[in-house]
Structure 1
């Protein structure tokens, strides 16, 4: 990209070996307002994946297996990096994989190959030894979908050491609150570090505004927009409450205040990945030495 800052050196090989990074990502409704495109968004996601995977870390992502989705994009990126020890863990909620046929599941396992593996989850979020046999189930009650998504997010949080967050829907979600909001909430409840990349707006910037309003002043809320979904408002309120209750807002992530401030506003792929890599490099090896 024109004007892109020079790429900093990546983390040393194996700097994140044995470390598991949850990645929370979904489309941002603010891209047009920011003058950005889906290409900018995906370039940043690709750079973040590259930083983690080349340094030996594993990525945990909860989503779906549609051809044009984030999972397929991440697999394409992994083909470029050469790691063949399945660094990508694709976690599927019960209501996602139960919609799939045995043939579809087999095709996706083959597609992931040596680059990733699928974790099939039960309705409560526990991992299943194998997907449930039987004809696909096409529809689920709203409450069952919400419960399964919460179980997915709890599983990912329990199996990760830190969380990287970018973008995020404010509407059109199925769970009890927007996925990114719930994932950050669970991370804060477990006192995990989070890396909030706010330059693409969306729910990530809303979370930053709830935790550190001073880091979101560069992008004021848009006047005249429809009222926010009450589940979003309640989720953000709960994030603020948990941060106070636990005395933990996730910003103890190996970055200085200035670096977190830059991460909260940058939209440059190499800059975002360099900042996150710097924080991971400082923080996670230290936590390993204390274990």
Structure 2
């Protein structure tokens, strides 16, 4: 029996990675894994497809998502998003991957998870097509990562953001920063969970959001771009007070409740608009 969940048809992008400030906040990799699992679990349970741009390391977040999707397989009436998780591989990441392992994983997760390879011109490729181009192709890390992030943003409904390193990154700016900036420029809803510090918290500081600790002074490339944005530019269905709470809470349960509240408010507003039309 099929049914319709409130987020059926939605694609929620999760941007999450370790940050240099986590140890100072008393946080470990285990806390980050728990945060990823909670965010993905609730989105999947509400019927959304979770999208993520990352590599396929054995203990990486993509593998964790694939394990989760085995527990939360879609059983809804949404026929447009058959895959519960879509992993986008930037061309440089794909070029450095084990191709046989990718084909094996794709076959294993067929129907519940999908792998999309994005070339540097923002074209999505199947694994077969991408692998046939490998030997004759070159790549640039910066343009390859930017292309992947633009595609994810274009295809996603909203983005959940947490952590993020601000040094030793491959692109033109920290990965979390570029994903948030593209989302803001595209007017897509963004949820900034600042309790894990890192690039996410620094973006909030640049936006002038109250910080329960001392505000940071970011100096990574293009950081000044975020000074033009305010909380209302997040377009995430939350009030200023709610976004400030989301920016500061160290409790992932509270953060997820706020994210769900925002998504529900956006869904309700869309329903009202649809009825007017």
Report if TM-score (shorter chain) is over 0.5. yes
Say which SS state the counterpart of residue 278 (structure 1) adopts.
Answer: helix
Alpha-carbon distance between aligned partners in 2 of 1:248 and 1:127, rounded to the nearest angstrom? 32
**Conserved in 1, the CA contact under 8 Å of 2:17 and 2:162?**
yes
Closer, same or farther in 2 for the Cα pair 1:13/1:169, shift >3 Å?
farther
Higher RCO, 1 vs 2 (CA within 8 Å, ≥6 residues apart): 1
Closer, same or farther in 2 for the Cα pair 1:34/1:211, shift >3 Å?
same
Encode CA deviations 1:175-201: one digit per residue, 9 max, x unaligned.
Answer: 000011001111111112210000000
How far has the Cα of 1:248 moved from its partner?
5.7
Alpha-carbon distance between aligned partners in 2 of 1:30 and 1:274, rounded to the nearest angstrom? 24
How many residues of Structure 1 are paired with residues of Structure 2 in the alignment? 264
Match of 2:224 among 215, 227, 237: 237
Correspondence 1:207-286 to 2 at 5 A: 207-214=203-210, 216=211, 218-221=212-215, 232=220, 234-241=221-228, 243=229, 249-250=233-234, 252-286=235-269
Alpha-carbon distance between aligned partners in 1 of 2:142 and 2:59, rounded to the nearest angstrom? 24
Under a length normalisation based on structure 1, what TM-score does the superposition of the two structures give? 0.83
List alignment gaps of at least 5 residues for structure 2: 76-81
Is 1:179 the counterpart of 2:162? The answer is no
Segments of 4+ in structure 1 off by > 6 A?
A: none
**Conserved in 2, the CA contact under 8 Å of 1:29 and 1:202?**
yes
**Conserved in 1, the CA contact under 8 Å of 2:195 and 2:249?**
yes
Is 1:27 the counterpart of 2:18? The answer is yes
Say which SS state the counterpart of residue 222 (structure 2) adopts.
Answer: helix
Is 1:118 the counterpart of 2:115? The answer is yes
Alpha-carbon distance between aligned partners in 2 of 1:13 and 1:30, rounded to the nearest angstrom? 40
List alignment gaps of at least 5 residues for structure 1: 1-11
